[in-house]
A and B are shown apart, each in its own frame.
Chain A
């Protein structure tokens, strides 16, 4: 029987270090992915993700369980991302993963995907990443939380501290900017596009 987040949190609060390690193991990748997509730098995303868990560990005695543990973690991570962007005064820059060998990747993919397809996919990935850079922080964060983490509008509104309608507006505006960017880069021209 796999322990739930809440059970692991309770055990961690009783001083069981292994339970907290299990929580880290369970959530490190989603938190890293969130940080990477919001701030766009691999190394900094790692630092933010690690700092998220450190803060969570320190603040654990104060966690009363009103929200889900994952929502609580997302909130810490997003605050850290916001601090990072503000402190560095940087526009998020999305790096392509370093040291990625297209040929090796193609070999890993097996015979299903050709190298040409893979290169094209990487190129499209880069274009999407560049498009995300164009978005204001709040729009980008809303899109990341919705698109890649599957949060509900209400959960995003709670995390961003804004009304539900604002979240929808941010999503609509963000997707529209992305659409124009993708079309300008020669990606699929959607029929009847305005």
Chain B
């Protein structure tokens, strides 16, 4: 027994419109629409409404909801630049301090005097340097010898200091272990970085897939709407053809 569709069966009509009918129902509705112009027009009109509804889109807004905090990067993963003063040896720091003090004193020409009137500190720009005594003879050779001795002493000091820095000591050993720790740290960071990249790649892939799915859904919707419109046109044409057949079948008076 074939199924019958009646004009007041709007539930089946709407199911037909959305394509959620079984083949028997579809056949019954198709058969009815071919002969009932009112139902055919209604299906066409409702299909048209569905097409127009596709125009209503929500605004494109940035959502980026943060419901769960992303796991914070532990501080140990962050390489920080070491303070410059921790890399300079202590003796060099002391030498630099002495040099700075000496240079300061030389520029300022600090003089400390103690006399019965009290303790007096003067600087170079507070009092002019004493003029050389005119009566004292200038002994050039003695000055030259003093300078030479000072230079030799300075050379020996420098040699001993350079030698001491070249000798291996415990500091070098500890530095070696520090280097190993740094290498381990760098390797750890590299592996963590790779892990992060993998995660990012996976996230991108998820986003890409989601976009593709949405696009596909939109395309399918458009195609479906196109089919609906086409069906409507087909129905109208069928209806017109029926009318023509009916008119041509009517005997002429």
Contact = CB atoms under 8 A, between A and B. Distances in A.
Interface string B30-70: 00000001101110111011101101111111011101111
Determine chain B's interface SS by DSSP, over half rule: helix
A32 B63 contact: yes
Interface string B1-44: 00000000011011100101000000000000000011011101
B197 interface: no
Contacts of A188: 48, 52
Contacts, number: 132
A74 interface: no
A179 B206 contact: no
B222 interface: no
Interface residues of B, number: 46
A150 B217 CA distance: 9
Nearest to B44: A190
Contacts of B14: 168, 171-172, 175
A168 B10 contact: yes
B184 interface: no
A152 interface: yes
A97 B61 CA distance: 9
Interface in A120-140: 121, 124-125, 128-129, 132
B54 to A, nearest CB: 8
A191 B41 contact: yes
Contacts of B59: 36, 42, 97-98, 100
Interface in A1-48: 2-3, 17-18, 20-22, 24-26, 28-29, 32-33, 36-37, 42, 45-46
B61 A32 contact: yes
B199 interface: yes
Given A29-B63, A190-B44, A17 B52 contact: no
A24 to B, nearest CB: 5
A146 B18 contact: yes
B38 A192 contact: yes
B203 interface: yes
B207 interface: yes
A129 B54 CA distance: 11
A125 B50 contact: no
Contacts of A45: 58
B198 interface: no
Contact of B206 (A22, A33, A192): A22
A90 B60 CA distance: 24
A54 interface: yes
B49 A182 contact: yes
Given A20-B68, A150-B221, A192-B44, 9 more contacts: A2-B209, A17-B70, A18-B70, A24-B67, A25-B207, A42-B61, A45-B58, A192-B38, A192-B41
20 contacts: A22-B206, A26-B210, A29-B214, A32-B61, A36-B58, A42-B58, A49-B65, A54-B67, A97-B58, A100-B59, A125-B55, A132-B56, A143-B53, A150-B221, A165-B11, A169-B10, A172-B13, A182-B52, A191-B44, A192-B38
Interface of B: 10-11, 13-15, 18, 20, 37-38, 40-42, 44-46, 48-50, 52-53, 55-61, 63-65, 67-71, 199, 203, 205-207, 209-210, 214, 217, 221, 236
